[in-house]
Chain A
Amino acid sequence: MSLNVWLGALEQGLLWGAMVVGVYMTFRVLDYPDLTIDSAFTMGAAVAAKFILSGYNPWLSLVVAILCGALAGLITGLLHTRLRVAPLLSGILTMIALYSINLRIMGQANLSLLRVETIFTWAKGLPALGPFGPALLGLLVVALVLIILHLFLKTELGMGIRATGDNEQMIRSLGVNTSTMKLVGLAIANALVALSGGLVAQYQGFADIGMGIGMIIAGLASVIIGEALVGSQTLFRALLAAVTGSIIYRAVISLVLQLGLPPTDLKLLTSLIVVIAMSFPLVRQRLGLRALRLRSEQGAATGQRSQDL
């Protein structure tokens, strides 16, 4: 594969990385399977594209995307905490509702950003960076996200959110309103996802109503890959793992596309990756048990023989 393809995978991994960190935040930190993520990603892209096409600054469009994502997470959280809707269903409800809203925002199913100024046309225009402009820009954004989130998760509020995902009964007995913690956590997670959507829209040069479909599974696959390779012993390591997983996931996707897999088969592949990764501990346990049993059977057999003698 050429350098260009690898560079592309790195760029994508970094830009989608913010989304993966959002998935990490819901699935791992909050222990909340939040399907809002699919539509929050599209929403970020739609809002950013619409704002840029309306003549606003591309950076400002990202700020608005972040706010809209936070709002989407908040709605899911309110459905769950106020109306007691189950976590999975609360996310689905918001996801479906946002499909219509995203179409309203865009006015059509697809918005092109090909002939307008984005943060990436700006980065490519900086001669000092050569071909690395977009990658460095992605690195900068993701590094900022990681640093801020890491600092945040070490604050009183951030620790309250982590404890809510870990042991709700315990942290409530320590005087924390777990509903508030979930609301804040979901808002932050979906804000990150929407930021990622805004970045990706500008990077690809379009926003599309279907671009968020399956995002949560891609995010989950990335989180799992990252945890396997980087580990999650400390908070910082877990955050770094999410972004690393994202980059590797995009590299794998680029690779299989190069090998001739039709792009329409990607969602199937992604689901398979997650299923295989999730079945891994079980398979390992089964194999371990079998090895133990074999050994004990052999032991019994040799024991038998020594008695015969």
Chain B
Amino acid sequence: MLQLVNVAKTFNPGGVNEKAALREITLHVKEGEVVTIIGSNGAGKSTLLNVIAGVYEIEAGKVLLDSQDITRWPEHIRAAWIGRVFQDPLKGTAASMTIEENLALALRRGRPRRLHRGITPSERQLFKEQLALLGLGLEERMTTRVGLLSGGQRQALTVLMATIATPKLLLLDEHTAALDPRTARTVVELTEKIIARHRLTTLMVTHNLEQALRTGNRTIMMHEGRIILDLSGPERARTTVADLLKMFEKASGSAFADDRVLLTGNQGSL
């Protein structure tokens, strides 16, 4: 489904701030797999997602989606196949446009924008049904500007927008990190429901180790631009958060450096 072959990405090559963000990453994700990605600060988790989405060009390696080489495809062409949710709730929606307008923009992901009507009546009906499934009452506020919604509401809407035109691949970049715990839980449940409904192949970056093990069916750990751990199947089922931290120290030779991990670890789940 998704294949990364020896992918390398360096920021500011040749400069004083040169930083190898990804080093020879090779990753094979099967259809329907839900992969959680963990790793300390600066491990290259977000860079990995951005490379897959086409935000950054890479120096070496190949990216294949559905056996098609998409390495040289620009971001907006790849977008036809890839749904994304960002960490910042403000980044996934257009604040000055209404809920239904945002959904209409998302429904046309990967399609040319013509002089056709921006929203048709049947689409409005679809949006109403889909919004009702979120359980946030947004179906009654379809002509409200998105800028008036709370962060949690906006992020829930963004998850719906990323999946309303079913993508081949869903990329979630710490999409609940900026939300309060209760809202984060709602958005996580919602995301899991949508992933299950469409059997979406998903890559999800998270700083919550417990969530990383509980969600999906595979977990990879990154450190300094490399994948240092790849867990799935019964081995993953046996693994605890404490095991993960031990594995990290063994594989990287350093302590897991993410201040937020301890915080969320104390709370148990999210």
Contact = CB atoms under 8 A, between A and B. Distances in A.
Contacts of B108: 156, 174-175
Given A155-B115, A156-B115, A176 B94 contact: no
Report the contact-size class of chain B (Cβ under 8 Å from the partner).
20 to 34
B159 interface: no
A155 B117 contact: yes
Nearest to B118: A159
Interface stretch (B10-18, B58-66, B77-85, B231-239): B77-85
A173 B90 CA distance: 14
A177 B104 CA distance: 16
Question: Chain A at the B interface: mostly helix, strand, loop or mixed?
Answer: helix
Report the contact-size class of chain A (Cβ under 8 Å from the partner).
20 to 34
B11 to A, nearest CB: 18
Given A172-B75, A172-B76, A174-B105, A157 B115 contact: yes
Interface string A151-166: 0101111111011001
Nearest to A31: B96
A163 B105 contact: yes
B93 interface: yes
B104 A159 contact: yes
Contacts, number: 83
Given A156-B114, A156-B115, A157-B113, A171 B53 contact: no
A65 B270 CA distance: 61
A110 interface: no
Nearest to B171: A173
Contacts of B86: 169
A171 B84 CA distance: 11
Given A154-B117, A156-B118, A175 B94 contact: no
Given A174-B108, A174-B109, A175-B111, A159 B101 contact: yes
Ordered nearest first, which 5 A-B pairs have the shortest CB separation? Answer: A175-B79, A166-B94, A175-B110, A160-B113, A156-B113
